[in-house]
Amino acid sequence: MRWVHGHVAAIGVVAVALFATAGVFAFARPEFHQYVMPSPPPEPLPYAKVTYSATDAQRAFRGVDINLVLHTHEPVPVGAPPIIDLSNNGNVVVVDVFGDPQRVAASGFSDYFNFANGHWLKAPKTCSSTANGAERWHGNVRVIVSCARAGTSAGVWLRRVDQAFAQLAVSR
């Protein structure tokens, strides 16, 4: 009993907090609201027809000393995958070769990668202090250079990507 007399203020504070919490749940009735993404991104895919194959991309990048390894395996059911993934050994450069635009769109792919402050965002084209990756497109081929993995030589990697894209254009 002596202990209770010594802690009357603390017991009173806890009691008031419990009553206030009970009051919030009794009268405010908080409800769960499912998060809903806004409408789909505003633009379609940045290409309208398939121009290059994965083999074309591998050949063009090999021409600038970037050897690409195939990561995509045959889908089930068997058929041409809508997106073929390639990358170099250290994953500094990731190359995606996109197939039929209708199948790619049906797969749920979007060139927009983030939704922030009420706006869809695309990846930047160059590396900066805030960028995780720099994205470049040439026809149905997309390249993402990892800014973190490239480090201070990110500009060199992006120039090599541009050179590979130039070789792609010549190969057609």
Task: Check residue 144 and give its pLDDT.
Answer: 95
Classify 27 as helix, strand or coil: helix
d(CA 172, CA 169): 6
The pair of three-digit structure tokens given for residue 60, joined into one six-digit string: 């063009």
CB 112 within 8 A of CB 41: yes
**pLDDT, tens digit (0-9, with 9 covering 90-100), for 14-31:** 888 888 888 777 777 767
Residues 6+ apart with CB under 8 A from 131: 123, 124, 147
Q: Are 145 and 158 contacting, i.e. CB atoms less than 8 angstroms apart? A: yes
Question: What Å distances lie between residue 105 and 36, 54, 81, 115, CA to CA?
Answer: 20, 19, 13, 18
Q: Are 139 and 51 in contact (CB under 8 A)?
A: yes
Under a CB-based contact definition with an 8 Å cutoff, are residues 120 and 112 in contact?
yes
pLDDT value at residue 172: 63
d(CA 107, CA 143) in angstroms, rounded, equals 19
pTM score:
0.72
The model's pLDDT over 141-161, given as tens digits with 9 standing for 90+, comes to 999 999 999 999 999 999 999
Residue pLDDT, tens place only, 51-93 = 999 999 999 999 999 999 988 765 555 566 788 999 999 999 9
